[in-house]
A and B are shown apart, each in its own frame.
Chain A
Amino acid sequence: MSTRTALPRWVDVVLLPLLNVVLAFLVGGLIVLAVGQNPLDAVGIMLFGAFGYGSGFGYTLYYTTDFVFAGLAVSLAYHAGLFNIGPEGQAYVAGLGVILVGLAVNGLHWALAFPLMMIAGALFGAFWAFIPGYLQAKRGSHIVITTILFNFIAASLMSFMITRILKPAGVNSDESAPLDAITRVPQLRLFFEIFKNSPVNITFFLALIALVAVYWLIWHTKFGFKMRALGNNPTAASYAGISNEKTIMITMAMAGVLAAMVAVNNVGGVQGRLILNFVNGAGFVGIAVAFMGRGHPVGVALSALLFGALYQGGQELAFSMPGITREMIVTIQALVILFTGAMGDMLRGPLVRLFSRSAVAGGA
């Protein structure tokens, strides 16, 4: 514990993650070098692809939106000591809520349809996360196991719903009927021409609001206090008269609401229909985002942006550099996860030694 507190806060929060990302890119650079490409060019292309022009930046923000919500869904639960592996399934099931309500009010102006679709998605996502929460609270079934299983159940359930029930007659691809343009969540290019043909939509602003709201919830509300007490020390929480069961169930339901917004972003804002496997791993990236961001909304925002840029810039890179395949992009993303998540504390020891030495030298 003394080693945990030995580092100045800025080193812990800024320097350490930054060094980890740099390390990941150095190793990634070696791989790029190994296939005979110039790593510096590759970085240049990635950065330009992610931030250099309106459409690319729009895509970056679109991915970032997904990752913020999934990252918050993991972070929030983590503060209550719950490892929520299930944003993928929670978002997927939420898509059902979004499309059902969207189709029911199809033709309604988005200003009215958006809140309705949001609430419906939130309810479905909350329900899907609540069940593992309930099982954890009342039955002691481990949340990691149940949320993983619920991802699988969600996948099967949704395949069934999409292919057997929602698919209109005469359509070949596995998808629901589309929403009218007026009902869809509006994309930002309608207001800002610079985003051109990118899918970033007003759900992005919802993500910004969610970041602030989650921060407020965790550190400025009574419920957040209870949640953190439970997450840090369940026995002390029980001593403090906190109902651990209730807190677990409510927290999981809220995490499900956050994950559900991934569905609003995609089903409501991008595809305008429910397609098979639309979450496409965003829920799992959320786990990496949450850990890299250390569960803090500011960290989640930054790491979601990093992963958004990696996704968009990576696609640009695979497109522009023929020697670099899609798989290599995934490898680089995996390296970032490896260095910031799994080996995130690798450089802690050396840094602690460095800083304690300088502290002693400064004191002497």
Chain B
Amino acid sequence: MQSLNQTSVQRPEKAAASPLAIELIGINKHFGPVHANRDIHLEVRRGTVHGIVGENGAGKSTLMSILYGFYKADSGEIRVDGVPHAITDSRHALALGIGMVHQHFMLVENFSVLENIVLGVEDSFLLGKTLNHARAQLRRLATDYGLEVDPDAVIENLSVGQQQRVEILKALYRGAETLILDEPTGVLTPAEADHLFRILRTLRDEGKTIILITHKLREIMAITDEVSVMRQGAMVRTLQTAATSPGELAELMVGRRVLLRVDKGPAHPGKVLLEVENLVVTDDFNIPRVKNVSFSVRAGEIVGIAGVAGNGQSELLESISGMRDQLSGEIRVDGKVLSLEGDDGAARARKAGLAHVPEDRLRMGLVSNFLEWENSILGYQDKYGRGLGLDIAAAKAEAKERIAKFDIRPPNAELKTANFSGGNQQKIVLAREMERDPDVLVVGQPTRGVDIGAIEFIHNQIIKMRDAGKAILLVSVELDEIRSLSDRILVLFDGQIVGEADPATADEGQLGLLMAGVSNADAANTAGGALLAEGQLERATMDDTTRDAVS
């Protein structure tokens, strides 16, 4: 487990000279008619953090799945430490020292950390010996890399960041020298993400190789040594991170110049259109997720709700849009109270002038088996045709208009929705909800899984709605998005609004602390302390590693 060159810590500037850990040569992969990877060449140097960026469907995940043995390439060669290998499955990849941390964790929820780590690599019939061995290993890994996790904690009681650490430990325990991380920060708070990056840096400095798949350019700039850009299945270019800029990377990813910053004028708030008062909402298991929340949104303003995923956003969105009855409290759209009778509250909310772009379009906003035009009327089906019949011709005609207006591709109303890309699916939903001319627009995660090119378009559409005098409630876990779009920011933590911030003045650290549950008043006092504590922790870890190295 100990790396050989532990004493000679790799520094990024030396990275270029270090030997190649992974080489992919002329990789091709087809899925039916789709050419997912075209003649890919990639060289990853040992002891570096290598970023891979690209839009959805650019072929990043396919490429990594080939390296990890999930898929077999149609042609091409994989070299690990200079030796060609035909990787047959993930077990084989692990044996070659390649580990993967998936976007969705592969952990057994009701097992302890230790049990999860040895799962699948128990080396004797009785567990005891394996567990003791693993416990000792784990302790070493924890001190070596700052991967502190209680080995006896049960997974479901751990925070998302800690669960991710368990995934990393799992890979390291199996002897991974190269770690592939797929969108690792999607579910983390800024502080957790920072912690992850510290771990990754330590791992790199200890000689491990990290491949980081992400769509966040900020992360690429912050942590990687080299970055490879993919577009439409092809490798566009590999660059030294120090010698590039987010703008250049975005341009390479999309193939044209993109505006990363949102252009918007000042807000002109009018009368209150959406009011939420003392709202309490429970989840499917009757556990309160939204706890006494009150706020209002005025015409012509965007109110952003920031927060780490799972702090009540979903329940808040669902209750405002009429999908989930609140336990108590009131929701008013343009002064009218939304009633709670029956299980078709969403229809009443729409009637009251509220449109809803749901946070999870595939689970909620679309029926993926429906044709495009069918989804283009979903929620408004009763408006098409008198009597029982559905006016299909009218529905299709409108769908075609919206396809043109929102540049939905391919421009085919008869195509099954599942065959559209994530960005275009999102445009189908946005077009449907925005073209109804609602008074209030509730938007959840508008750009989750959406390409950079489409993000720009979607953001502009939201601003356009605001400038047309609509009240917009924006819920997103992307802090950048909240900051660049909102006129006011509310921070949701544990179902409560713990603070309000002005996007123009709020800094990321302050918002991050609020998102982590440190309230505005405490923030000033605790901020320094917390940072100090973390600094000490880091130093302590460093001391341990130096000690190990010396002994």
Contact = CB atoms under 8 A, between A and B. Distances in A.
Given A241-B350, A243-B344, A359-B32, A228 B367 contact: yes
A6 B418 CA distance: 13
B381 A6 contact: no
Interface in B340-373: 342-350, 356, 358, 363-370
A220 B374 CA distance: 11
A236 B368 CA distance: 10
A8 B349 CA distance: 41
Given A232-B370, A236-B363, A224 B346 contact: no
B109 interface: no
B33 A241 contact: no
A5 B420 CA distance: 13
A240 to B, nearest CB: 4
Nearest to A223: B388
Contacts of B342: 243, 245
A356 interface: yes
Contacts of A242: 344, 346-347
Interface string A207-243: 0000000000000111111101100110111111111
Contacts of B419: 5
Given A221-B388, A222-B384, A229 B370 contact: yes
Contact of A241 (B347, B363, B366): B347
Interface residues of A, number: 31
Contact of B346 (A6, A221, A228, A239): A239
A65 interface: no
Majority secondary structure, A binding face: helix
A170 interface: no
B337 interface: no
Contact of B418 (A1, A246, A359): A1
A49 B382 CA distance: 50
B496 interface: no
B198 interface: no
A363 B33 CA distance: 9
B99 interface: no
A220 B388 CA distance: 9
Contacts of B221: none
A232 B367 contact: yes
B343 A240 contact: no
Contact of A232 (B368, B381, B384): B368
Contacts of A240: 346-347, 378-379, 381
A246 B347 CA distance: 14
B389 A241 contact: no
A228 to B, nearest CB: 7
B125 interface: no
Nearest to A217: B388
A244 interface: yes
Nearest to B418: A1
B370 A222 contact: no
Contacts of A237: 367
B323 interface: yes
A173 interface: no
Interface in A85-106: none
Given A240-B379, A241-B379, A229 B367 contact: yes
Interface string B372-412: 00100111011011001110100000000000000000000
B385 A236 contact: no
B517 to A, nearest CB: 29
Given A222-B385, A240-B379, A235 B343 contact: no
A300 to B, nearest CB: 19
Nearest to B392: A220
B368 A6 contact: no
Nearest to A226: B381
B322 interface: yes
A233 B363 CA distance: 7
Interface in B29-87: 30-33
Which of A221, A224, A238: most chain B Cβ within 10 A?
Answer: A238
Given A233-B366, A241-B346, A359-B32, 15 more contacts: A1-B418, A5-B419, A221-B388, A225-B374, A233-B369, A235-B364, A236-B363, A237-B367, A239-B323, A239-B356, A241-B347, A243-B344, A245-B342, A245-B343, A359-B33
Name the 3 nearest CB pairs between A and B, nearest first. A241-B347, A241-B346, A243-B344
Interface of B: 30-33, 321-323, 342-350, 356, 358, 363-370, 374, 377-379, 381-382, 384-385, 388-390, 392, 416, 418-419
16 contacts: A2-B32, A222-B381, A225-B377, A226-B381, A229-B378, A229-B381, A233-B366, A233-B367, A236-B367, A239-B323, A239-B356, A241-B349, A242-B347, A243-B343, A246-B344, A360-B33
